[in-house]
A and B are shown apart, each in its own frame.
Chain A
């Protein structure tokens, strides 16, 4: 039985983590703009990489956790898992939005076109639609138990759709630059770039944690108040 103050406590903690993460983000901005070298072929626009890649990582993280907690919810029926999934989905929309805006802004100067249907940009678009569908379904269902069960089903199905999207779109075509960072021998990025990228990934992950904690706490607080109003 959670105390009525549990929600607000989590919200405060989450928002503090967010504030720290946003400060860290400012630091990453400075590093990315000032510390990293300018890529010879791609120019300054290449530096969007330091925001786009961590956003992609967080969107995928958010999505996987929605899928995972959905599966666990159907098994354990713990309302906390449902609440977490909803929070992660909403935060995932934010990071997907970053990906879907920085992607084209990066693509235009580098590839000459705002949009391409390459494997990764397309997958991002699908994640975005899956998140939105998930949240739309939740908004359309009133009964909390039904809402939790149905969204869990969408969460699991969505998680299993992703490999198929990846496979079918990849078979369809791909233009995306090959991954530069994760190579077995050594990353082919100069050290300043790698450091900044890793710092950015850490900051974005921290932001994810803060946002989800705050969103979770808000859900908890709102539920507690609804229960108090009904009583």
Chain B
């Protein structure tokens, strides 16, 4: 069990180091997220709705799209390097490889989100204040959901000809429950609603994460093994 965890961290570390070396994917994904925020600003009528009403939706659509862009890139790098083949030949438990990939993708998407959040606060004049820890918690939970399923689907999509189209078509339906939970929780946190109102949505997010991380770990061998 501990050995598997150590292996997972090793796999994650290797992927993260590879990404840090090139940095292009990280930069592109972050710029993409920033641009989406800009588009959202011009895609609304500022006199019709206050920024604070749209804020949760804007934030989460941006995060969801950025996660998809990041995940697409993550496995393309993998395919180019064929590094996964070496890992698979070794007797490494597949669960450890999946966890490692999940952690690396989480680090990647998390970094993009960490840079996007301050930009969001800036562009939309959102007062996070006391809501910040809650927002961070919601972001962590929802992102785990996005990335768990996204890791599986990007591993599959990269083997098709139209990976950039295939991934969104497969992944977006799966992003909806965490998205609903995240937007609702974020909206209540930003309006200073009592914690009890937020708890239900957090539980939905946590349940989704538990179910899908487990499930994805179980089906991962079918995706990578012959």
Q: Which A residues have a C-beta under 8 Å from some C-beta of B?
A: 74, 126, 129-130, 132-133, 136-137, 140-141, 145-146, 149-150, 152-154, 156-158, 160-161, 164-165, 167-169, 171-172
Q: For A157, what are the chain B residues with a Cβ–Cβ distance below 8 Å? A: 149, 152, 174, 212, 215-216, 219
With most chain A CB atoms within 10 A of its CB, the pick from B159, B216, B222 is: B222
A152 touching B204 by the CB < 8 A rule?
no
B222 touching A149 by the CB < 8 A rule?
yes
Shortest A76–chain B CB gap in Å is: 13
> B177 at interface (Cβ–Cβ under 8 A)?
yes
Contact with A along B156-196 (1 / 0, CB 8 A): 10011110001001101110110011001000000000000
Chain B interface secondary structure, helix, strand, loop or mixed?
helix
Chain B residue with the shortest CB-CB distance to A125: B173
Q: For A160, what are the chain B residues with a Cβ–Cβ distance below 8 Å? A: 211-212, 215
> B200 at interface (Cβ–Cβ under 8 A)?
yes
Chain B residue with the shortest CB-CB distance to A151: B156
Shortest B178–chain A CB gap in Å is: 9
A145–B222 alpha-carbon span in the complex (Å)? 10
Chain A interface secondary structure, helix, strand, loop or mixed?
helix
> B226 at interface (Cβ–Cβ under 8 A)?
yes
Do A74 and B160 form a contact, CB below 8 Å, given A157-B149, A160-B215, A164-B208? no
Do A153 and B156 form a contact, CB below 8 Å, given A74-B222, A140-B161, A145-B226? yes
> B50 at interface (Cβ–Cβ under 8 A)?
no
B176 touching A126 by the CB < 8 A rule?
yes
* 15 new A-B contacts at CB < 8 Å, known A149-B223, A169-B180: A126-B176, A129-B169, A132-B169, A133-B169, A136-B169, A137-B166, A149-B222, A152-B222, A153-B219, A156-B219, A157-B212, A160-B212, A161-B174, A165-B173, A172-B180
Shortest B208–chain A CB gap in Å is: 6
A154 touching B170 by the CB < 8 A rule?
yes
With most chain A CB atoms within 10 A of its CB, the pick from B176, B208, B212 is: B176
B204 touching A167 by the CB < 8 A rule?
yes
Chain B residue with the shortest CB-CB distance to A148: B222
A141–B161 alpha-carbon span in the complex (Å)? 8
A137–B156 alpha-carbon span in the complex (Å)? 9
B223 touching A153 by the CB < 8 A rule?
yes
Listed by A's residue number, 30 A-B pairs whose Cβ atoms lie within 8 Å are A126-B173, A129-B173, A130-B173, A132-B169, A136-B169, A137-B170, A141-B159, A141-B160, A150-B156, A150-B159, A150-B222, A153-B156, A153-B222, A157-B149, A157-B152, A157-B174, A157-B212, A157-B215, A160-B211, A160-B212, A164-B211, A165-B176, A165-B177, A167-B177, A168-B176, A168-B177, A168-B181, A171-B184, A171-B201, A172-B180
Q: For B172, what are the chain A residues with a Cβ–Cβ distance below 8 Å? A: 129
**How many residues of chain B have a CB within 8 Å of chain A?**
31
Shortest A193–chain B CB gap in Å is: 34
A152–B222 alpha-carbon span in the complex (Å)? 9
A171 touching B204 by the CB < 8 A rule?
yes
Cβ-defined partner of B200 (8 Å) among A132, A153, A171: A171
A136 touching B166 by the CB < 8 A rule?
yes
A74–B225 alpha-carbon span in the complex (Å)? 12
Question: 8 tightest A-B contacts by CB?
Answer: A140-B160, A164-B177, A168-B177, A168-B180, A153-B219, A133-B170, A150-B156, A149-B222
Interfacial residues of chain B within 120-166, with CB under 8 A of chain A in the complex: 149, 152, 156, 159-162, 166
Interfacial residues of chain B within 199-218, with CB under 8 A of chain A in the complex: 200-201, 204, 207-208, 211-212, 215-216
Q: For B177, what are the chain A residues with a Cβ–Cβ distance below 8 Å? A: 161, 164-165, 167-168
Chain B residue with the shortest CB-CB distance to A143: B159
A37–B8 alpha-carbon span in the complex (Å)? 65
Shortest A63–chain B CB gap in Å is: 13
Shortest B183–chain A CB gap in Å is: 10
Do A146 and B159 form a contact, CB below 8 Å, given A157-B215, A157-B219, A171-B200? yes
Cβ-defined partner of A140 (8 Å) among B152, B162, B184, B222: B162
Q: For A164, what are the chain B residues with a Cβ–Cβ distance below 8 Å? A: 177, 204, 207-208, 211
A133–B174 alpha-carbon span in the complex (Å)? 11
